[in-house]
Amino acid sequence: MWQWLYKLGSPRHFYEMTTGFVPWLTGVSLFLLIVGVVWGLGFAPPDYQMGDSYRILYIHVPTSMGGMGAFVLLAMMAAMHMIWNIKMADIVAKVCAPVGAGYTALGLITGSLWGKPTWGTYWIWEARLTSYLILLFLFLGVMALRAAYDSERSGSKAASVLAIVGVVNVPIIYYSVYWWNTLHQVPSELGRDGSANPPEIFIPALFTGFAVIGLFFLAVILRSRNEILYRERRAQWVQDLLEKELADV
């Protein structure tokens, strides 16, 4: 196991191990997404309170959770890079920022579209929404710090510090609905109450949820592979790979 983890920390081995994994992850994620979206939007019954407006939650909930999960992963990779100077940790931390920012922005947009018919407004400065907006600013701040330094190493350290400090915002986002009297409701427990979450509603949510998770890791892996090729472009194995690709064309 330790040997496998050691290889995973090597850019070359990470690139080689994920080569055959990408097509499978793409196919499974797209299949889950199509089934979940078609089932949720076309065949799931209307909610007894929200009617058809709840259907946007099939995208809003997993993308919102994906944004928080992305920042946790970003902070973990930043800490590993700071402590053990692992190359792949820095690469994953770098590519997590734009992917996580995209998920966070999509969570905010879909949440606003759901909030208009439900709350009567697209936006309100309450704890959950405000703390989640701060998460987007943290992602943008991490990317800006990396780009602000001429030295990639200095930019990486500065961005890592912000990521490690900023991860405290993630539990604040989650527990804000419990700590303060917010407009945003507490999370539902799937399957606990059949009247609130019958199978025909929560099963497609599971499909879209796992699909969004798969697409997140797919985006991280693909961007990591591109970053590896850029950073290791002078390495012999990258030159050999390029020659092989050109020969196959």
Query: Could you report how far apart the first and last alpha carbons of the chain are, in Å?
Result: 37
Residue 163: other Cβ atoms inside 10 A: 28
d(CA 190, CA 29): 21
103: Cα separation from own chain's centroid: 6
pLDDT recorded at residue 120: 87
pLDDT recorded at residue 245: 78
Cβ pair 56, 110 in contact under 8 A: yes
Q: In one letter, which amino acid is 95?
A: V
pLDDT recorded at residue 191: 44
Provide the whole-model pTM: 0.91
Task: Quote the Cα angle for 148-96-111, to 5°.
Answer: 105
Look at residues 191, 188, 218, 190 and name the one whose alpha carbon lies nearest to residue 32. 218
pLDDT exceeds 70 at position 155: yes
Cβ pair 102, 37 in contact under 8 A: no
d(CA 57, CA 63): 9
- Cross-strand pairs, 47: 51
DSSP state of 183: S
pLDDT recorded at residue 189: 53
Cβ pair 135, 170 in contact under 8 A: yes
Residue 73: other Cβ atoms inside 10 A: 20
Task: Quote the Cα angle for 212-213-215, to 5°.
Answer: 65
pLDDT recorded at residue 193: 45
Q: What share of the chain in percent tops pLDDT 90? A: 60
Cβ pair 173, 138 in contact under 8 A: no
How large is the angle between the packed helices 152-166 and 57-84, nearest 10 degrees?
120
SS3 at position 182:
coil
Cβ pair 115, 75 in contact under 8 A: no
Over the stretch 164-207, which tens digit does the pLDDT of each residue have?
999 999 999 999 888 887 777 776 654 444 445 678 888 999 99
d(CA 110, CA 116): 10
Architecture of domain 19-240: Up-down Bundle (1.20)
Cβ pair 103, 60 in contact under 8 A: no
